[in-house]
Amino acid sequence: MMMNHLKLLRLISAIFVLGGLAGCATQPQQPVQIERISPEQLAALVPPAQSTLSLEEIASMSKKGKPDAEIIEAIKQSQSRYSLTASEVLSWHQKGISKGVLDYMQQANALAQQNAIADEINKREKARVEAETRLKRERDSARLRSMDPWFYGPGYYGGPWGYRPYWGGGMGWRYW
């Protein structure tokens, strides 16, 4: 008889422990979703290389002996950007364009690409923050609506005529 009580006690305590553990269980956090940029979107984001100062003109300036700083300044003034492959860089170096000018061309193109991508990331982040702010505002508005005495409709708190204030100090006449 004593053994049956002990078994029953163990069973009840096991049920309480398992129930407590089940009550404490939580859902795992959802992994952060990263919105990837496809190669097509990337190509559309990155501005195409535009050059108003041709590479032949730059090569002729280099052959005439102009310093790199002056050639780079001319490229900046013309707002030219060049997208050159490695073989094209070697070819233009053999045609007379100095390494410093070619390095600047590559760096300027890479910087323009990075700026375009950063602008897109900032635009997406701003849209995400605005959506999150709008959801928080809607949530807070819903919370405040439920605090309004008229939220459940007129008369909920005191018959069809609404809430009636108290008269006096509680002794005698309570309602008008």
Instruction: Kindly report, residue by residue over 2-15, the tens digit of the pLDDT.
Output: 667 788 888 888 88
Which pTM does this prediction carry? 0.56
Which tokens go with 90? 């070697």
Q: What is the Cα–Cα distance from 16 to 101, expressed in whole angstroms? A: 77
Phi, psi of 174 (to 5 degrees): -95, -40
Domain boundaries, the chain: 39-142
pLDDT tens digits, 75-117: 999 988 888 899 999 999 999 999 999 999 999 999 988 888 8
Q: What is the Cα–Cα distance from 127 to 120, expressed in whole angstroms? A: 11
